[in-house]
Amino acid sequence: MLKNKVAIITGGSSGIGKALAFELGKEQCRLIITGRNIDKLELTSHELRSKGIENYYVVADSSVEDDNKRIIAEAIYHYGKIDILINNAGITMRSMFEDADIDATIRKVMDINFFGTVYLTQAALPYIKKSKGTIAGISSIAGFRGLPVRSGYSASKFAVNGFLESLRTELLHTGVNVLTACPGFTSSNIRFAAIDGNGQISKETVRDEEKMMSAEECAKHIVKAIIKRKRSIILTNEGRLTVWLNKFFPSLVDRLVYTTLAKEKNSPLKQLIE
């Protein structure tokens, strides 16, 4: 069903984005992958081509509006159309709110996770409407339930969820599908690239990556949702349970989330308990 469709994937050189590139490649999509690191993009592009997957990469920063416009211009120049737009690029943070430098952390996270989605979607929208294609946002369970020590990340994902819901309603009679995909904790590089309260990259994860859903499994679910033109998916049983419990028992979830995240390595929440 996706053969010869043109798909743009931001943050396509690692993690869920890279897994999505290979999964869509299996469906014979033609790909544009983006990211800020040219070495990673070149390597991923080469790996895709070695599997017979047609692709083109664009070095771009999701937080820069002109870069997003250039992504769309490159896509149209090379392929002449856009069928699928996947807003995947994102970063997270790990800091107590009171200790965070607002510009270095929360504004940076919002610029990439939220405004990156907004910029690229608006630039692509005329072409997506023409193809009656799909706009997908890779959000998070943190877009339904705020997470302590990740206030900026949660705020950005709540914003993405609201934006996509509004957009879906605006486009109700256009034939465009808008998908909100919300993984739970997924084994990917996002935690290794988490920024601290001063905006510095941590380069380590505080969770057991082996116990999480893999990026490849996550990508399979998302591609199936694109094919079926679903409006939203929540991945992992833990994620679905958290969303349900938070709707009906929010005070209980406050305590459960606090206790769970306090167990993370070097969590400031644990220090407060002690």
- Under DSSP, the state recorded for 177 is E
Residue with tokens 């339904």: 144
- Identity at 72, one-letter amino acid code: I
Catalytic residue among 119, 127, 153, 258: 153
Q: Is 153 considered catalytic here? A: yes
Strand order of the β-sheet with 55-59 is 55-59, 30-35, 6-9, 84-87, 134-138, 177-182, 232-234
Tokens of 47: 């790996």
Concatenated DSSP letters for 61-130? -TT-HHHHHHHHHHHHHHHS---EEEE-----B-S-GGG--TIIIIIHHHIIIIIHHHHHHHHHHHHHHH
Q: What's the gap between Cα 104 and its chain centre?
A: 20
* CA separation for the pair 195, 56 (Å, rounded): 29
Catalytic residues: 153
